[in-house]
């Protein structure tokens, strides 16, 4: 198919393509069939924002190819990433006659991808899943690599994120940059935060590439966005290919995220995940001493400013409370706080047991008191 960039993702358990191209959604059925995926029926799981756009394009393509499909909508909120939603989804698929020869097509952002991906991984002990991300963040990160999950609620009412799930690779990822045409600027910028993260991990030249093209990116130019998505999927595919189950290298993809989760838990919805990742990535650059880390911090700060992402916390937050919030990550990892530390651009390392004073100093560098 003309103009479609196909990136092979090769992990220990699977091998599949992530395709990127303008109008790719209109060819969804053919892209699937080309890869031997001809399900008897498809459950298209989507959120309301894309039901009449991206999800309809996929649906039309399947129907034109003679494949039966049902559309199932779900809310795209963190609250809906629950076992209850998963149960509803699976019961709908059962009622709609989706069987072992069927497939799930997840059309939406990270929440839909996570829940629908987990449904596909578990329904009838696993049926194929096609990820069709419709946010920049999901295209460059969440849809690739097979992480699927829902949240649980702890006894004290707090949310335990992504606590029940599996690593189940999709059979195909379809990214159509035209699907980003109506994405609000704030959501687009949030996706760019993950691109900045990828740049620090493995592709420093991308920082300059993005800042030189920030106008067409924010104007939703599909060719520029397509090139950006493909470049980031290549980075992610490289990392996940080395370490699918996050036993080692994959953990570098959590750069900035331990800081980000702490910010999100105190910000009560005031910051998006991407904004928190932006601030967290900048803070992480202060964890290692040395001129190369200082250079990384300067490069990240200037890219975030050019993009219009925050470089400081939105309101005065206390170092002590942020450090406490970080401890929930610590609980999940055997009592030791592990952080991804940029020692320089393209030189990030996972380190455990960093001195608290250094972590506190990183928080202060982004405005914590
Ligand atoms: N989003 C980080 C990962 O997939 O590992």
Based on the fold, state whether residues 189 and 300 are members of the same structural domain. Answer: yes
pLDDT in tens, 305-347: 999 999 999 988 999 999 999 987 755 667 789 999 999 999 9
Burial label, 119 (beta-carbon count in 10 A; 0-12, 13-18, 19+): buried
| Residue 333: per-residue pLDDT | 66
pLDDT in tens, 206-218: 999 999 999 999 9
Cβ 250 under 6 angstroms from ligand 1:
yes
| Residue 334: per-residue pLDDT | 72
User: Is 147 labeled as catalytic in the residue annotation?
Assistant: yes
Cβ 117 under 6 angstroms from ligand 1:
no
Provide the CATH number for the domain around residue 192.
1.20.1090.10
Distance (angstroms) between ligand 1 centre and the Cα of 31 equals: 25
Specify the DSSP element, H or E, that contains 328: helix 319-332
Based on the fold, state whether residues 201 and 132 are members of the same structural domain. Answer: no
Based on the fold, state whether residues 116 and 141 are members of the same structural domain. Answer: yes
User: Is 220 labeled as catalytic in the residue annotation?
Assistant: no
Given 189, 234, 273, 286, the catalytic residue: 273
Report d(CA 95, CA 91) in Å as an integer.
6
Listed residue (293, 291, 316) closest to 367, CA to CA: 316
| Residue 327: per-residue pLDDT | 87
Number of domains in the chain: 2
Based on the fold, state whether residues 275 and 286 are members of the same structural domain. Answer: yes
Based on the fold, state whether residues 42 and 106 are members of the same structural domain. Answer: yes
Of 157, 183, 209, the position where a domain reaches its end is 183
Closest approach atom of ligand 1 to CA 251:
5
Based on the fold, state whether residues 107 and 208 are members of the same structural domain. Answer: no
| Tokens read off for 303 | 């890219």
Cβ 197 under 6 angstroms from ligand 1:
no
| Residue 332: per-residue pLDDT | 60
Residue 119 lies in a domain: yes
Report d(CA 277, CA 291) in Å as an integer.
23
Based on the fold, state whether residues 193 and 321 are members of the same structural domain. Answer: yes
Based on the fold, state whether residues 120 and 190 are members of the same structural domain. Answer: no
Residue 232 lies in a domain: no
Cβ 325 under 6 angstroms from ligand 1:
no
| Residue 330: per-residue pLDDT | 56
**Which residues of the chain fall short of a pLDDT of 50?**
none
Listed residue (243, 191, 259, 227) closest to 21, CA to CA: 227
Full residue range of the structural domain in which residue 310 is found? 184-219+255-369
Based on the fold, state whether residues 86 and 174 are members of the same structural domain. Answer: yes
| Residue 331: per-residue pLDDT | 56
In order of 58, 96, 115, 169, the CA distances from 99 in angstroms are 20, 9, 18, 19
| Residue 268: per-residue pLDDT | 85
- Residue whose CA is closest, atom 3 of ligand 1? 253
User: Is 273 labeled as catalytic in the residue annotation?
Assistant: yes
Of 18, 145, 195, the one to substitute when testing ligand 1's pocket (max ligand atoms within 8 A of C-beta) is: 145
Closest approach atom of ligand 1 to CA 146:
4
Report d(CA 352, CA 251) in Å as an integer.
12
- CB-based contact 354:341 (threshold 8 Å): yes
Distance (angstroms) between ligand 1 centre and the Cα of 148 equals: 10
Based on the fold, state whether residues 146 and 40 are members of the same structural domain. Answer: yes
| Residue 108: per-residue pLDDT | 98
Cβ 145 under 6 angstroms from ligand 1:
yes
Based on the fold, state whether residues 150 and 122 are members of the same structural domain. Answer: yes
Provide the CATH number for the domain around residue 52.
3.40.50.1970
Based on the fold, state whether residues 118 and 207 are members of the same structural domain. Answer: no
């Amino acid at each position: 198919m003309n103009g479609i960039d196909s990136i092979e993702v090769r992990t220990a358990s699977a091998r599949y393509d992530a395709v990127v191209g303008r109008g790719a959604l209109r060819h969804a059925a053919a892209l699937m069939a080309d890869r031997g995926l001809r399900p008897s029926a498809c459950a298209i799981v989507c959120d309301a924002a894309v039901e009449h756009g991206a999800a309809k394009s996929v649906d039309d393509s399947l129907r034109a190819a003679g494949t039966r499909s049902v559309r199932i909508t779900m809310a795209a909120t963190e609250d809906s990433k629950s076992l209850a939603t998963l149960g509803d989804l699976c019961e709908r698929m059962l009622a709609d006659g989706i069987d072992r020869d069927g497939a799930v097509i997840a059309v939406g952002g990270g929440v839909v991808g996570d829940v629908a991906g987990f449904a596909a991984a578990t329904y009838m002990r696993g049926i194929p899943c096609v990820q069709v991300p419709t946010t920049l963040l999901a295209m460059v990160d969440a849809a690739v690599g097979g992480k699927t999950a829902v949240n649980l609620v702890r006894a004290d009412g707090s949310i335990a994120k992504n606590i029940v799930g599996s690593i189940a690779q999709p059979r195909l990822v379809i990214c159509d940059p035209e699907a980003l045409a109506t994405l609000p600027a704030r959501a687009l910028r949030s996706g760019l935060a993950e691109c900045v993260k990828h740049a620090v991990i493995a592709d420093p030249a991308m920082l300059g590439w993005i800042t030189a093209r920030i106008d067409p990116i924010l104007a939703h130019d599909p060719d520029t966005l397509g090139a950006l998505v493909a470049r980031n999927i290549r980075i992610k595919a490289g990392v996940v290919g080395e370490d699918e189950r996050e036993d080692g290298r994959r953990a570098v993809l959590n750069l900035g995220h331990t800081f980000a989760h702490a910010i999100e838990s105190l910000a009560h919805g005031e910051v998006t995940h991407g904004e928190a990742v932006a601030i967290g990535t900048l803070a992480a650059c202060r964890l290692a001493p040395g001129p190369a880390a200082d250079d990384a911090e300067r490069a990240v700060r200037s890219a975030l400013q050019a993009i219009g992402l925050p470089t400081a916390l939105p309101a005065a937050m206390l170092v002590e409370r942020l450090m406490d919030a970080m401890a929930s990550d610590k609980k999940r990892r055997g009592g030791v706080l592990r952080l991804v530390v940029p020692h320089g651009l393209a030189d990030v390392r996972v380190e455990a047991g960093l001195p608290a004073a250094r972590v506190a100093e990183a928080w202060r560098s982004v405005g914590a008191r």
